[in-house]
Amino acid sequence: MRFWGITGTNGKTTVTWILAEFINAAEGRRCGYVTTVEANTGSRRFYTGYTTPPLNQLKEIFAEMEANGCTDCVMEV
């Protein structure tokens, strides 16, 4: 899985959503994301309760993305 990190002061969530949509539009690619608002694992969207989820929760999110066929993950960092 490819990981894309979005940094900065303003606009990270919006840029994360837009980049994930561009990747999803590419043939043969599927993208999940983790933002301060929600996580999307390719099969479900949910609130994590954290700006950056703890490592054990991130591992579960990434494993679920991989199991759902995600080729990419965009994440606010």
User: What gap in Å lies between CA 30 and CA 51, rounded to an integer?
Assistant: 23
DSSP-assigned letters across all residues of 1-67: -EEEEE-SSS-HHHHHHHHHHHHHHSTT--EEEE-SS-EE-SS-EE--SSSS--HHHHHHHHHHHHH
Stretches where the chain sits below pLDDT 70 are none
Q: Model pTM? A: 0.91
What was the pLDDT predicted at 50? 84
Q: Residue 44: its pLDDT value, please? A: 96
For residue 52, what pLDDT is reported? 86
Dump pLDDT digits (tens) for 53-66. Answer: 999 999 999 999 99
